[in-house]
Amino acid sequence: MVDKVQKDAVEALSGLLFDGMTIMAGGFGLCGIPENLIAAIRETGVKDLTVVSNNCGVDGFGLGILLENRQIKKMISSYVGENKLFEQLYLSGELELEFNPQGTLADADLSIVKAWKADAEGNLVYRKTARNFNPMMATAGKACVVEVEQIVAIGALDKDNIHTAGIYVDRVLKGAKFEKRIERVTTRPRDEKREETV
């Protein structure tokens, strides 16, 4: 048995990052993003990154924090509409963009993903919609680092419910904290006449 558990995101990324590398980041919008790993990447100062992800986060959160530090040189994505800084950098020529349809994203030097649960062997279970692109991206990088909400004992995960086998995972960490942000809330307009009669 190989214990893949690391103490934190910095240790989990140790020796894997270099300038000019390609990183795949799991998640969809802000759901299921590896926010602790993204924050640790920001702190290293690694630059000229090509990042492959469904989107580029929002201003000040998710991959958006790597844009703020000008660490991303090229974005390979299928949607970038929620990040105003992204728009500014792209229109000024500071950032390259390659649009790819969902499901056709490439391979990378490193995959960073988020799962709900993992065991020490790296077997993963995702929770509800956070399953999104994480399982595919976990298998597409030369190395895969996963942040999870819970680390459980080996054998505690039902073998029939494992979404990503540990063979694809190199390192696992329990995230220090998680923000459950909502990217955009849309509600129907209120019926003013109905409110007046109530």
pLDDT digits (tens, 9 = 90+) for 83-133: 899 999 999 999 999 988 776 667 799 999 999 999 999 999 999 988 888
Look at residue 55 in the predicted model and tell me its pLDDT.
85
Are 4 and 121 in contact by the 8 Å Cβ rule? The answer is yes
Look at residue 193 in the predicted model and tell me its pLDDT.
64
User: Is residue 148 a part of any domain in this protein?
Assistant: yes
Query: At 135, phi and psi to the nearest 5?
Result: -60, -40
Q: In terms of residue numbers, what domain contains 38? A: 5-174
24-52 per-residue burial string, b: 16 or more CB within 10 A, e: under 16: bbbbbbbbbbbbbbbbbbbeeebeebbbb
User: Is residue 138 a part of any domain in this protein?
Assistant: yes
User: Is residue 91 a part of any domain in this protein?
Assistant: yes
**What pTM does this model have?**
0.82
User: Is residue 23 a part of any domain in this protein?
Assistant: yes
Structurally, the chain folds into a number of domains equal to 1
CATH number at residue 111: 3.40.1080.10
User: Is residue 198 a part of any domain in this protein?
Assistant: no
Residue whose pair of structure tokens reads 């000024």 in the numeric block:
92
Look at residue 103 in the predicted model and tell me its pLDDT.
65
Distance CA 39, CA 10 (A): 9
User: Is residue 82 a part of any domain in this protein?
Assistant: yes
Mean pLDDT (10-residue bins), the chain, 198 residues: 91 97 91 94 97 89 94 92 90 93 78 96 94 91 96 95 97 88 75 62
Question: Going by C-beta distance under 8 Å and a sequence separation of 6 or more, which residues neighbour residue 148?
Answer: 114, 115, 116, 117, 118, 124, 172, 173, 174, 175
